[in-house]
A and B are shown apart, each in its own frame.
Chain A
Amino acid sequence: MDFKLSSEHLMARTLFSEFAENEVKPYAAEVDETEEFPKGTVEKLQRYGFMGIPIPREFGGQGCDSLTYVMCVEELSKRCATTGVIVSAHTSLCCDPIYKFGTPAQKEEYLKPLASGDKLGAFALTEPGAGTDAAGVQTKAVLEGEQYVLNGSKIFITNGKEADIYIVFAMTDPSKGTKGISAFIVEKGAPGFTFGTKEKKMGIRGSSTYELIFRDCRIPRENLLGQEGKGFSIAMATLDGGRIGIAAQALGIAEGALETTVAYVKQRKQFGRTIAQFQNTQFTLADLAAKTEAAKMLVYKAAYAKDTQKRFSVEAAMAKLFAAETAMEVTTKCVQLHGGYGYTREYAVERMMRDAKITEIYEGTSEVQRMVISGSLLS
């Protein structure tokens, strides 16, 4: 066993960290305040190959591994969690399923432009009646000749209005329950595909979270991803990977909050001393640092498992559960260490605490992660 990162991983971390510092951090507060999708930053992410890190080069990606990808999401999220989730949703939830389940023609037409950064991806599973209970999908797809006709709506879709290519889940045979769900590749601009309301969120406010509406939306038959009826297992397999991305986002948020708080307590004075000199501060920071490091180990282990194991659901669930709850605890306590200033938008920890909350909810709530873990324990 070796806990040392390879030279290429160390250099990649330096790259991501410098990029995040120079290109992401300066806009993080503004992105949060204005709730505007950071288009300029995303263009840079696309230009420098950050949008297809774990995808092989033959499909337009960078040919790196999951650990490199995870470090990218982590470093971006240290400075701006909105930017982190844009990359994570695009890579884990859109590129990955096409890479894993797509036909050679689908990879050529959709994966290549996604992984090379020409197009942005999204994933549409959630519906008003189908959140954690993903089997309750109501959107329907009916085969008419050479086209599928989609009807229904999706909510809370990350990269919603900004994406070009969507993985959409719809019921092709309602009589079969989860085995009647199928996955489709839908392009922006498909007839009958429009956008509904934009969500106003507590955190990750720059990510474009929209409702997608399909009214007699016609897509070519060959845009079925995988086989008919396999949509649910495609969704679950995809979310296993996605959870590692979100775990990395949570880890980054925790690390970012800790870093800025360490700097703050060294200069903030009360009672004639810096607050870093108080044991309460020291012990709190020690606990937070230990938990953040533990989260990092789980996240990196899950990334490694994704590349080396057939199944990694438990590793992904543990990483996401622990990293998300760590992010929430770290950011909450970092706000506390900032005192009143931490409650204001002048200080980044206020934003980080709001951003952290979503990591306990999306791509499987903490409760779902506990179900996955305990299900495996008790099976």
Chain B
Amino acid sequence: MLNIVVCIKQVPDTNEVRLDPKTGTLIREGVPSIMNPDDKAGLEAALRIKDELGACVRVVSMGPAQADAVLREALAMGADEAYLISDRAFGGADTWATSSTIAAAVSKLPYDIVFTGRQAIDGDTAQVGPQMAEHLGIPNVSYAEEIRVVGDSLIVKRQFENSYQVVRVKMPCLVTALTELNRPRYMTPGGIFSAYREKQVTVWARADVPVDDSNIGLKGSPTRVKESFPKALKGKGEVVTLDAEAEADYLVSKLREKFVI
């Protein structure tokens, strides 16, 4: 049976986040916390492999005690075990310290596949997954849009801006998932009850994670955030279907309209 570890993060629902018009900072008060969407796609991919081939799916999260909720959600969707890495010593971590810590925790678990999301919607770095693969010494395939298990390998379709790449990777490996990978299932009511009343979330504190002090928390973080800013809002795209010449004319007229040319 395959062993799959899925790393999930609790993030503020950025669809609900508003900006303070005066300071330009995020107003996080009253914003619901959700499972990071890319991570949820990774979890769904793991659960589909479990449905098809049988697997033990373990979910891991690092965060404060409230992150328990996303782990329970994962259990209610069908994950088998949950682990929360939580200690003040891990606080203030940048991507290096985060990936060092989570990779050390994951190294305590059996795994054939480690799923992470491509990136979290609150930080948008896309660094933690690939860094973890380096720490664990396993291959990393990022931007997965499709996944198939074939023997001892995975066939992964990777998404790029305007092309795809299909790679075959031997397990154990780490895959970073995109929301396009699938449409995650809903929890079941009974799954929720069992997640809270029957299953456990194992909490791993500092002493439980085999990682060097120099690589954790704020002190183990070589980078500092210089400035935070919201993503620039992109206008809605427009799809035009005309013949080639008319399309070119249309494009030119639009570029002129915007004073690009």
Residues of A within 8 A of B (CB): 6-8, 11-12, 15, 18-19, 48-50, 53, 57, 61-64, 68, 72
Interface residues in B169-205 (C-beta closer than 8 Å to A): 185-197
A210 to B73, CA, bound (A): 40
User: Given A11-B72, A11-B76, is A49 in contact with B196 using a C-beta cutoff of 8 Å?
Assistant: no
Q: Are A62 and B186 in contact (CB under 8 A)?
A: no
- Among residues of B, the one whose C-beta sits closest to the C-beta of A69 is B189
Residues of B within 8 A of A (CB): 69, 72-73, 76, 185-197
User: Given A7-B72, A8-B197, is A15 in contact with B190 using a C-beta cutoff of 8 Å?
Assistant: no
**Which single member of A6, A7, A62 contacts B190 (CB below 8 Å)?**
A62
A50 to B186, CA, bound (A): 11
Q: Are A72 and B186 in contact (CB under 8 A)?
A: no
Q: Are B190 and A61 in contact (CB under 8 A)?
A: yes
Q: Are B189 and A49 in contact (CB under 8 A)?
A: yes
Q: Are A49 and B188 in contact (CB under 8 A)?
A: yes
User: Given A8-B196, A8-B197, A11-B76, is A49 in contact with B190 using a C-beta cutoff of 8 Å?
Assistant: yes
- Among residues of B, the one whose C-beta sits closest to the C-beta of A7 is B196
User: Given A8-B196, A8-B197, is A68 in contact with B72 using a C-beta cutoff of 8 Å?
Assistant: no
The distance from the CB of A31 to the nearest CB of chain B, in whole angstroms, is 20
Report chain A residues within 8 Å CB of B188.
48-49, 62
- Among residues of A, the one whose C-beta sits closest to the C-beta of B68 is A7
A64 to B192, CA, bound (A): 9
A68 to B187, CA, bound (A): 14
Report chain A residues within 8 Å CB of B191.
49
Q: Are B186 and A18 in contact (CB under 8 A)?
A: yes
Contacts A8-B192, A12-B189 aside, 18 further interface pairs with beta carbons under 8 A come to: A7-B72, A11-B72, A11-B195, A12-B192, A15-B76, A48-B185, A48-B186, A48-B187, A49-B189, A49-B191, A50-B189, A53-B190, A57-B190, A63-B193, A63-B194, A64-B190, A64-B192, A72-B189
User: Given A62-B193, A63-B193, A64-B193, is A11 in contact with B73 using a C-beta cutoff of 8 Å?
Assistant: yes
Residue pairs across A and B with Cβ atoms less than 8 A apart, 23 shown, are: A6-B196, A7-B69, A7-B196, A8-B195, A11-B69, A11-B72, A11-B73, A11-B196, A15-B76, A15-B187, A15-B192, A48-B185, A48-B187, A48-B188, A49-B189, A50-B189, A57-B190, A62-B188, A62-B190, A63-B190, A63-B193, A64-B189, A64-B192
The distance from the CB of B64 to the nearest CB of chain A, in whole angstroms, is 16
Q: Are B193 and A8 in contact (CB under 8 A)?
A: yes
Report chain A residues within 8 Å CB of B73.
11
User: Given A7-B72, A11-B72, is A19 in contact with B196 using a C-beta cutoff of 8 Å?
Assistant: no
A53 to B187, CA, bound (A): 13
Report chain A residues within 8 Å CB of B192.
8, 11-12, 15, 64
**Which single member of A15, A57, A63 contacts B186 (CB below 8 Å)?**
A15
The distance from the CB of B188 to the nearest CB of chain A, in whole angstroms, is 4
A57 to B73, CA, bound (A): 20
A8 to B188, CA, bound (A): 11
A7 to B187, CA, bound (A): 14
Q: Are B196 and A15 in contact (CB under 8 A)?
A: no
A53 to B73, CA, bound (A): 18
Report chain B residues within 8 Å CB of A12.
189, 192-193
Closest 6 CB pairs of A and B: A62-B190, A49-B188, A8-B196, A62-B189, A64-B189, A11-B192
Report chain A residues within 8 Å CB of B195.
8, 11
A63 to B76, CA, bound (A): 13
Report chain B residues within 8 Å CB of A6.
196
Report chain B residues within 8 Å CB of A15.
76, 186-187, 189, 192
- Among residues of A, the one whose C-beta sits closest to the C-beta of B197 is A8
Report chain B residues within 8 Å CB of A61.
190
The distance from the CB of A85 to the nearest CB of chain B, in whole angstroms, is 19
A68 to B190, CA, bound (A): 10
The distance from the CB of A337 to the nearest CB of chain B, in whole angstroms, is 26
Most chain A Cβ neighbours within 10 Å, of B73, B188, B190, B196: B190
Report chain A residues within 8 Å CB of B76.
11, 15
A68 to B76, CA, bound (A): 15
A342 to B194, CA, bound (A): 43
- Among residues of A, the one whose C-beta sits closest to the C-beta of B73 is A11
Report chain A residues within 8 Å CB of B193.
8, 12, 62-64, 68
The distance from the CB of B18 to the nearest CB of chain A, in whole angstroms, is 16
